[in-house]
Structures are given as structure tokens and as C-alpha cells.
Chain A
Amino acid sequence: DTAVSQTPKYLVTQMGNDKSIKCEQNLGHDTMYWYKQDSKKFLKIMFSYNNKELIINETVPNRFSPKSPDKAHLNLHINSLELGDSAVYFCASSYSSGGNSPLHFGNGTRLTVT
């Protein structure tokens, strides 16, 4: 049973296109996240939702729009893709214990913008 699953695993697209990444977790967690991992393997938080409410919105371009239809799902839509958006995007989930609950990650979506 996959705990945190993301689709697609790979996404290759051209500049200017719009794309979406989907994430689902079956761990019963109430908090979900989007992280971006750059080529140097640095993980940086982008967004976090707690029970469908946006609680973290880092300095991310407006072209990125997350949506959480329920606490088990978190999607990321990206408009007008740019070369610099190429990275691996990870979805994660945890319990809302004020930062003491470990994150559980999906296996990532490798986005390549050409």
C-alpha cells in the first residue's frame, strides 16, 4: 500500500504550458505539503495545508496554485511554466502536531521544462 502517492512521476513540457501534479495520502494525516528539491538536493517548502486550509505559503510565484479538495488530497497547478521551474516536486503529509510529527514523502514528480 502506497502511503503518499504522486502523479505523474515524470513531466516533460515546454515553456509557457500549464501543468498539474496530484497527490494523495492514505495515512489519515491532516496536513499536507509541497516541497521543491533543486539540482543540489536542497528541499524547500512551498505550501502547506491543514484540513484543507492553506497555512504556509512561502515566497512562491503566483503561477503556482495549490488546491486541497479534502485532507487526503493536495494538487499543484503551475501556469506559464518557465525553465527555472525544472526540479523534483515532493508531496508530503504529517499529523498537525505543531511541527513535531515526521513528514512522510511521496516519490516525487520530476518536472523538466524545455
Chain B
Amino acid sequence: EDQVTQSPEALRLQEGESSSLNCSYTVSGLRGLFWYRQDPGKGPEFLFTLYSAGEEKEKERLKATLTKKESFLHITAPKPEDSATYLCAVPRGSGTYKYIFGTGTRLKVLA
């Protein structure tokens, strides 16, 4: 069964303390892995798409990487404004539009 699991569930960091979030997936024929950021009271906001193992994408303090079984979202020297829930998602099946979402990692960066 296609599945997406994120860890940790919650993470508290001091400002400047780098860390990584994990997204493990089991899906046949990966057609992309998506990272989103969700702020309280808002909808998820698209960050990155990764398509193949070894691929990396960067945006400001965030860097996403992909292997054949998991993706990491590395946060370097985070700031309080990076506090949010980070979600990953993969499309399921072929020729469909069903995206399976993980339950997210709630990140809190303390000043």
C-alpha cells in the first residue's frame, strides 16, 4: 500500500540550530515528491518538487534531497519565521491526481 511517513512529529530548535526533517515513502513508480509549508490558519504552500534519487533543491535556508526511499528537508541556521508545519506528498498511481500527504512535522524555532 502506498504510504508517506514523516518524522519527527514535532521539532523545537533554537535559532541558528540546523536540523533535518524526514519523509519516508513507499509508492510504486515515484513520479515526484513534493514539499509544502503550512502556517497556522493557511493552506499548504508549495516549496519543492524532487523527481529522481540524488536530486537536490534549495530555497533560502531550506534544502530538499531525495533518495529511493526517503526525502530530507534540511534547515540551515533556522529563524523564528521558519516555524510552520512541513508536509511532504507523493502522487499515487498512474494517470491519476491522488496525492498522498504525510502527517507533517511541526517545527518551532525559538529566538
Instruction: Give the distance to chain B from A90, nearest Cβ to Cβ, in Å.
Output: 5
A99 in contact (CB, < 8 A): yes
Asked if A15 is at the interface of the complex by the 8 Å CB criterion, the answer is no
Chain B residues lying within 8 Å of A102, measured Cβ to Cβ, are 34, 46, 49
Measured as residues with beta carbon below 8 angstroms from the partner, the interface class of chain A is: 20 to 34
- Do B31 and A41 touch across chains, with their CB atoms under 8 A apart? no
Contact of A68 with B by CB under 8 A: no
List B5-50 residues whose CB lies under 8 Å from chain A: 31-32, 34, 38, 41-46, 49
Q: A4: CB under 8 A from chain B? A: yes
Would B101 and A105 count as touching, CB distance under 8 A?
A: no
Across the interface, do A99 and B45 meet the contact criterion of CB distance under 8 Å? no
Looking at chain A's contact residues, is the secondary structure mostly helix, strand, loop, or mixed? strand
B98 at interface, CB cutoff 8 A: yes
Answer yes or no: B54 CB below 8 A from chain A CBs: no
- The reply to whether A56 and B104 form a contact with Cβ atoms under 8 Å apart is no
Q: Which of A41-73 contact B (CB under 8 A)?
A: 41-45, 48, 50, 55-56
Q: Which of B38, B44, B49, B103 has the most CB of A within 10 A?
A: B44
Contact of B101 among A42, A96, A106, A108 (CB under 8 A): A42
CB-based contact A103/B46 at 8 Å: yes
Contact among A42, A50, A108 for B42, CB-based, below 8 A = A108
Docked pose: A64 CA to B96 CA in angstroms: 21
Partner pick for A103 among B42, B44, B95, CB 8 A cutoff: B44
| Residue B85, interface by CB 8 Å | yes
Cα–Cα, bound, A40→B104 (Å):
9
Subset of 21 A-B contacts with CB under 8 Å: A33-B97, A41-B103, A41-B106, A42-B103, A45-B98, A48-B98, A56-B97, A56-B98, A90-B44, A92-B43, A98-B96, A98-B97, A99-B32, A99-B95, A99-B97, A99-B98, A100-B49, A102-B49, A103-B34, A105-B43, A107-B41
Question: Could you tell me which A residues sit within 8 Å of B by CB distance?
Answer: 4, 31, 33, 40-45, 48, 50, 55-56, 90, 92, 94, 96, 98-100, 102-108
